[in-house]
């Protein structure tokens, strides 16, 4: 996106990519439908960027979610708004959008070098780039943008190897941490393995005063899924502070505690409780096994304790999944190390963008929109820098 904007401004642009093809993580994101952005009002949209919301609000003034949709349409890729408000390409894949985009960039004059990895600087602060054969090339650009990703899904290219290189320049970098990730727990011995790999749908998950509706996936190591990802920053910080995060799962958010208790007490004598919960309270099989695993026989067979468990099943999460399995990364270059255009204060002419910076957002289109808008902002910064030079 940064190259797109710089080419439009008339600059010569070379793009160096470590992998054999461009945008591999973008393609990975598209496997489930490529959630590009979100259609919610911009005020609510910017809140998803936590403490960086005001900065991203300024980015969206320059390149908004609607601007991103318009850009896709210009490439011949129509978009639509799903039932959840998320925005997708009509063809629901990343490949066609990416193919059209790269074709457009080549037509505009982009010089692409795949299998070329940036490995640092020489003694004169020129760029050193390793090619396919391991030979080191020296590149001397008028300005450069680093968009090297965080450390999630390293086989896609974002391996975090840039951290040690930039730390030598005394650039302040917050430790890279998993974001939008699953979390581990110690399941009760009675938890059947047949539950793993199955979702809990139409539930809500809460931590302290924050509650998120959605679904989660039961796994042999713990919990995954959208409702967990939305709380991942809070969960991670709670674990860092107290060594565990006690979340509460409401298996029937559409029903009050009183309603659940009333339903349970209406069970006729002789009717199997498990069967009744499935057919009359609409508790799914995985949720039912979860209730059994987290209750004593007395609790499970007592209407009030069972209703309370259905409305607030407590699970202790003890650590996030490894960063290489996370959807995105928290931590990175501190914004205080950059000027307003995201040029590194320690290296005039060197800009940074994307997950390299210390920000995070939940899934739902916020990550891609954040990166695209940041790229447009950085391209403008490069233009201003080159003009001043």
Q: Which two tokens stand for residue 343?
A: 């040029």
**CATH number of the domain that residue 379 is part of:** 3.50.50.60
Task: State pLDDT tens for residues 161-215.
Answer: 999 999 999 999 999 999 999 999 999 999 999 999 999 999 999 999 999 999 9
* Residue 18 sits in the same domain as residue 166: yes
Asked which of 320, 339, 373 is the last residue of a domain, the reply is 320
Instruction: Judge whether 273 and 186 are in contact, CB under 8 Å.
Output: no
pLDDT at 31: 81
Contacts of 62 (CB under 8 A, 6+ apart): 373, 376, 377, 380
Q: What is the pLDDT of residues 97-144, one digit of tens each?
A: 999 999 999 999 999 999 999 999 999 989 999 999 999 999 999 999
173 and 84 together in one domain:
yes
Domain count, the chain: 2
Asked which of 302, 320, 338 is the last residue of a domain, the reply is 320
Instruction: Tell me the residue range of the domain where 205 lies.
Output: 183-320
Q: What is the 3-state secondary structure (H, E, C) of the chain?
A: CHHHHHHHCCCCCEEECCCCCCCHHHHHHHHHCCCCEECCCHHHHHHCCHHHHHHHHHHHHHCCHHHHHHHHHHCCCCEEECCCCEEEECCCCHHHHHHHHHHHHHHHCCEEECCCEEEEECCCCCEEEECCCCCEEEECCCCEEECCCCCCCHHHCCCCCHHHHHHCCCCCEEEEEEECCCEECCCCCCCCHHHCCCEEEEEEEEECCEEEEEEEEECCCEEECHHHHHCHHHHHHHHHHHCCEEEEEECCCCCCHHHHHHHHHCCCCCCCHHHHHHHCCCCCHHHHHHHHHCCCHHHHCCHHHHHHHHHCEEEEECEECCHHHCCEEEEEECHHHECCCCEECCCCCEEECHHHECCCCCCCCHHHHHHHHHHHHHHHHHHHHHHHC
Specify whether 19 is located in the same domain as 167: yes
At 69 the pLDDT is: 98
Q: Per residue in 3-38, pLDDT tens?
A: 999 999 999 999 999 999 999 999 988 887 899 999
Which of 285, 304, 320 corresponds to the end of one domain? Answer: 320
CA distance 78 to 73: 5
Residue 85 has pLDDT above 90, yes or no: yes
- Copy the structure tokens of residue 204: 């809500």
Shared-domain flag, residues 106 and 175: yes
Looking at residue 44, what is its pLDDT? Answer: 95
pTM, whole model, 2 decimals? 0.92
Q: Are residues 227 and 102 in the same domain?
A: no
The pLDDT of residue 45 is above 90: yes
pLDDT averaged over every residue in the chain: 96
Is 29 in the same domain as 158? yes
């Amino acid at each position: 996106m940064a190259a797109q904007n710089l080419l439009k401004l008339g600059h010569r642009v070379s793009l160096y990519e470590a992998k054999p093809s461009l945008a591999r993580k973008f393609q990975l994101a598209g496997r489930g439908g490529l959630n590009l952005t979100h259609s919610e009002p911009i005020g609510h949209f910017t809140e998803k960027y936590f403490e960086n919301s005001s900065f991203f609000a300024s980015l969206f003034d320059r390149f908004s979610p609607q601007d991103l949709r318009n850009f896709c349409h210009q490439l011949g890729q129509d978009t639509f708004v799903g039932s959840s408000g998320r925005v997708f390409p009509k063809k629901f894949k990343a490949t066609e959008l990416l193919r059209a985009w790269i074709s457009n960039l080549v037509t505009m004059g982009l010089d692409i070098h795949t299998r070329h990895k940036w490995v640092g600087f020489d003694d004169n602060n020129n760029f050193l780039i390793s090619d396919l054969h391991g030979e080191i090339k020296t590149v001397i650009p008028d300005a450069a943008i680093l968009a090297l990703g965080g450390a999630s899904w390293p086989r896609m290219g974002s391996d975090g190897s840039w951290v040690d290189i930039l730390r030598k320049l005394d650039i302040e970098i917050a430790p890279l941490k998993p974001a939008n990730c699953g979390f581990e727990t110690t399941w009760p011995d009675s938890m059947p393995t047949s539950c793993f790999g199955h979702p809990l749908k139409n539930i809500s998950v809460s931590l302290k005063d924050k509650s998120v509706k959605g679904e989660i996936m039961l796994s042999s190591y713990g919990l995954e899924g959208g409702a967990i990802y939305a709380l991942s920053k809070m969960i991670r910080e709670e674990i860092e502070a107290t060594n565990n995060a006690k979340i509460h799962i409401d298996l029937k958010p559409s029903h009050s505690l009183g309603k659940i208790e009333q339903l349970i007490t209406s069970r006729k004598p002789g009717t199997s409780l498990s069967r009744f919960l499935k057919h009359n309270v609409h508790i799914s099989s995985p949720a039912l096994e979860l209730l059994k695993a987290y209750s004593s026989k007395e609790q499970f067979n007592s209407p009030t304790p069972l209703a309370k468990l259905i409305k607030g099943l407590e699970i202790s999460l003890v650590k996030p999944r490894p960063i290489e399995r996370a959807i995105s990364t928290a931590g990175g270059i501190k914004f205080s190390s950059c000027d307003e255009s995201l040029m590194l204060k320690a290296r005039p002419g060197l800009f940074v963008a994307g997950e390299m910076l210390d920000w995070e957002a939940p899934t739902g289109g916020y990550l891609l929109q954040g990166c695209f808008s940041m790229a447009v902002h950085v391209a403008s910064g490069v233009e201003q820098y080159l003009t001043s030079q």
